[in-house]
Amino acid sequence: EAGVTQFPSHSVIEKGQTVTLRCDPISGHDNLYWYRRVMGKEIKFLLHFVKESKQDESGMPNNRFLAERTGGTYSTLKVQPAELEDSGVYFCASSQEGTGRSYEQYFGPGTRLTVT
């Protein structure tokens, strides 16, 4: 079974540019999450999808961040315009609803974003 994949693995952009990160969850997983680790700090929750619906986006830092999950499959996280403080590692995770193991989230390898 393929795991959670993320693309790209690394991205270096200039301040003010736009970047779109992609996450492909494990097939059949309804729940999809985005997290990020800013340099030297803890992993922070950004938002949670159930299928194509946003269930909790309380962690989104501001309106420069837009997450979508059209069709309930893969998800994208767009940062526009990017700022220096957006640099960090962005993780995506997915989990299967209704297994009784709600917190067993499967994480992707992350996308390392550097804004210069």
Partner 1 sequence: LAKTTQPISMDSYEGQEVNITCSHNNIATNDYITWYQQFPSQGPRFIIQGYKTKVTNEVASLFIPADRKSSTLSLPRVSLSDTAVYYCLVGDRESSYKLIFGSGTRLLVRP
SS (H, E, C) the chain: CCCCEEECCEEEECCCCCEEEEEECCCCCCEEEEEEEECCCCEEEEEEEECCEEEECCCCCCCCEEEECHHHCCEEEEECCCCHHHCEEEEEEEECCCCCCCCCCEECCCEEEEEC
Q: How crowded is residue 9: how many other Cβ atoms within 10 Å of its Cβ? A: 11
What's the min distance (Å) between Cβ of 16 and partner 1? 28
What's the min distance (Å) between Cβ of 91 and partner 1? 5
Among 8, 14, 18, 55, the residue binding partner 1 under the rule CB under 8 A is 55
Say whether residue 109 binds partner 1 (CB under 8 A).
Answer: yes
What's the min distance (Å) between Cβ of 68 and partner 1? 18
Binders in 67-86 for partner 1, by CB under 8 A: none
Using the minimum distance from each CB to partner 1, give the nearer residue, 32 or 82: 32
Query: Using CB under 8 A as the criterion, which residues of the chain lie in contact with partner 1 when the complex forms?
Result: 4, 31, 33, 35, 42-45, 48, 55-56, 58-59, 91-93, 95, 101-110
